[in-house]
Amino acid sequence: AFLVADVILIPSSTSEVDVQATKRTLRYVGQTRRERAAAPPKVLIVPSQVRAGWFDDGGVREQLEGFGEEMVEPVRYDKKFGKAFQARRWVGDIASGSSAHRDVLALARRIESVLKEPDRVMPRISTSPATA
């Protein structure tokens, strides 16, 4: 999927498990960027499960900035995500206008803006069979 993606979202909390998973994912991103040097994917680190006040004041930003990729505004902790998951619905249906809904919409707007950046080079997909 990385080989054809224009934007790669990497959700990460500050837990050591997530930080290690993010590091592993970024190794795959590095490989993808080498293979697609002419049209590398954009990476957005998405802080997730962030409690109120933790993004700037609680050190979340500091802990996740070291990855060298753009970090977007966090998707904050909200019980409405769990309720939406249990109902098998998206949070905008379950809790329209809530902070959870607004966080997802803000992320969607950022992705759209990245895709519209004038200097974005879209990958070319070859239709000919690969040669060994």
Rounded to whole angstroms, the Cα distance separating 74 from 76 reads 6
DSSP string over 63-101? HHHTTSSEE---EE--HHHHHHHHTTS-HHHHSTTSHHH
The answer to the question of residue 98 being in a domain is yes
Boundaries of domain holding 104:
7-115
Is-above-0.85 flag for pTM?
Answer: no
- Report whether 54 contacts 47 (CB < 8 A): no
Rounded to whole angstroms, the Cα distance separating 37 from 58 reads 36
The answer to the question of residue 21 being in a domain is yes
The answer to the question of residue 38 being in a domain is yes
The domain tally of the chain equals: 1
CATH number of the domain that residue 18 is part of: 3.40.50.300
The answer to the question of residue 128 being in a domain is no
Q: Which residue has the tokens 């590095």?
A: 30
Rounded to whole angstroms, the Cα distance separating 61 from 81 reads 22
pLDDT digits (tens, 9 = 90+) for 46-98: 998 877 665 555 567 777 778 889 999 889 889 999 999 999 999 999 999 99
pLDDT digits (tens, 9 = 90+) for 6-49: 999 999 888 889 889 999 999 999 999 999 988 899 999 999 88
Neighbours of 102 (CB within 10 A): 17
The encoded tokens of residue 7 equal 């934007």
The answer to the question of residue 126 being in a domain is no
Q: How far is CA 38 from CA 34, 114, 122, in A?
A: 9, 17, 9
Give me the pLDDT at residue 1, please. Answer: 80
Q: Per-residue confidence at 132, pLDDT binned at 50, 70, 90?
A: very low
User: How many CA atoms lie within 13 Å of 21's alpha carbon, on the beta-carbon side?
Assistant: 11
